[in-house]
Chains A and B, each alone.
Chain A
Amino acid sequence: MSKITEQYFKDISKHKIIKHPDLMELFKKYNSAKQPKRKRLIKNRIAVANLRLVISEAKKYAFKGFSLNDLIQEGNIGLMRAIEMFDWKKGFRFSTYARWWIKQGICRYLIGKSRTIRLPAHIVTAVGKLNKLLAKEYTLSNIGPSLTEISDRLGMSKDLTVATHTATKGIVSLNVPLKNKSGNNPNSNECTQDKLESDILNPYEQLNQKEMANTIRQVLQKLNNKEEKVLRLRFGISEDPNDHEKWPITTVELNKIKRKR
C-alpha cells in the first residue's frame, strides 16, 4: 500500500460514522436546502461519513491489477451520485442504496480501462452473458450452441451476437515474434507485422487491383475476334496450352514460325 493511500485511510478514520436517524435528518436538510453553498456543505458531510463504504467496495476489485487509489476515486464519484439521487422518504438505509452506485462507478471504470481497445459498456455486459452461456453449454455437452440459438437465448440480434463473439477474442501484439508449427520461436527475428506487410495488401491496394482488373475485363470484352488474337499473339497468351493444332499457338509453334522466316 502506498504512503498516499495510508495517509488517506488515516484521514478518513478521523471522521465519525453518522448513524441512520442522523443521516436521514441530514438528507432532509439537504433536500430542503435552497442555497447551493449550504447544499454543498451537507453533501460533503454525508460523503465524508460514508467514505469507508467506498473503500470496502473498492478493495473487492483491487486484485484486477488496478490501483486502489483509482478505484476509490471512481467509487467516490459513485457515492456523490448516490447522495444526489437518494430518496430518504422511502425509508431505506443510505448504505444499501449507495453501495450500488459505488459499484457501478467502479465497474464503469474497469470496463473502460481493462481492455487495450475500449468496448462500449453494453457490449462488455453482452460478452459476460455470452461467456456464461457458452461455459454452461460446454459443460453439458461438447457441442456448443449455434449462432441462432445464442442470439435467441440472449435476446440479441445476430449482428450483435457476432460482434460480441468477436469482442471476446484476444489482442495480439504486432511486435510478437512469430512461432513455427511446433510452437518454438525460430531463429529469425520476424514478427507478425513483417508477415502482414509482406503477405497482405492493404485495403486501398486491394481495391485498386480490383478496379484495374475490372477495367481490363471491360476492354477485353469489347475486343473483336481479330483484335483478341493479335493481342494474344503479342503477349504470348494461349487459350489451351495442350492444343497445338488450333489457335492460338504455343511457344513451340511460335519458335517454328520464327525459324521459317
Chain B
Amino acid sequence: MPMPKGKKITFSYATVSDDDESANYRTISKVMTENGYKMNHASARNYILKIMKQFAKNIALNEGVKLTDEKLSIIARNPNFQSAIGDLVQNEIYNINK
C-alpha cells in the first residue's frame, strides 16, 4: 500500500509527541478516568482538538479573518500551532497565578 501523499501533520493522528512535561492521549484518558471523568484516548484527543479550534477561531477573528470549520480543523491539528498555544497558555496561567 503506497504512503499517503502530503505532510504528516495533515493526516496523522498524533499531534504533539509527549515530552517530560506533557502527557499523551492515553495517559490523559487514564488520569482523567482515575479522577472521575470517564474518557478514552480518542475522547482526550477530541477534547484537545476542540479547544485548539477555539483558540484558532479566536485568534483568526482577532486578526479580522473568519475561517471555515474545515480550515480550523487543519490548523487545530497542526503540531506547531499546538506547541505555540501550549507556550502561550503556560505563560498566561503562570502570569495569572503570580
17 A-B pairs with CB atoms under 8 Å apart are: A215-B55, A216-B89, A217-B96, A220-B89, A226-B32, A227-B50, A229-B35, A230-B32, A233-B22, A233-B32, A234-B28, A234-B48, A234-B86, A236-B19, A236-B23, A239-B97, A261-B30
Tell whether, in the assembled complex, residue B47 and residue A230 are in contact, meaning their CB atoms are under 8 Å apart. yes
The 3 A-B residue pairs with the shortest CB-CB distance in the complex, in nearest-first order: A236-B21, A235-B86, A236-B22
Residues in B lying within 8 Å of A, measured CB to CB: 16, 19-23, 26-28, 30-32, 35, 37, 44, 47-48, 50-51, 54-55, 58-59, 62, 85-86, 88-93, 95-97
Considering the chains assembled together, what is the distance between the CA atoms of A258 and B21 in angstroms?
12
Considering the chains assembled together, what is the distance between the CA atoms of A161 and B59 in angstroms?
42
Tell whether, in the assembled complex, residue A216 and residue B48 are in contact, meaning their CB atoms are under 8 Å apart. no
Considering the chains assembled together, what is the distance between the CA atoms of A215 and B28 in angstroms?
25
Tell whether, in the assembled complex, residue A219 and residue B55 are in contact, meaning their CB atoms are under 8 Å apart. yes
Contact of B22 among A215, A217, A235 (CB under 8 A): A235
Tell whether, in the assembled complex, residue B51 and residue A230 are in contact, meaning their CB atoms are under 8 Å apart. yes
The answer to whether A257 has its CB under 8 Å from any CB of chain B is yes
Interface of chain B: mostly helix, strand, loop or mixed: helix
Chain A residues positioned under 8 Å from B59 (CB to CB): 212, 215
Contact of A223 among B30, B51, B62 (CB under 8 A): B51
A199-231 contact mask (Cβ, 8 Å, vs B): 1 or 0: 000000000000111011111101100110111
Tell whether, in the assembled complex, residue B31 and residue A217 are in contact, meaning their CB atoms are under 8 Å apart. no
Expressed in whole angstroms, the minimum distance between the Cβ of A99 and any Cβ of chain B is 63
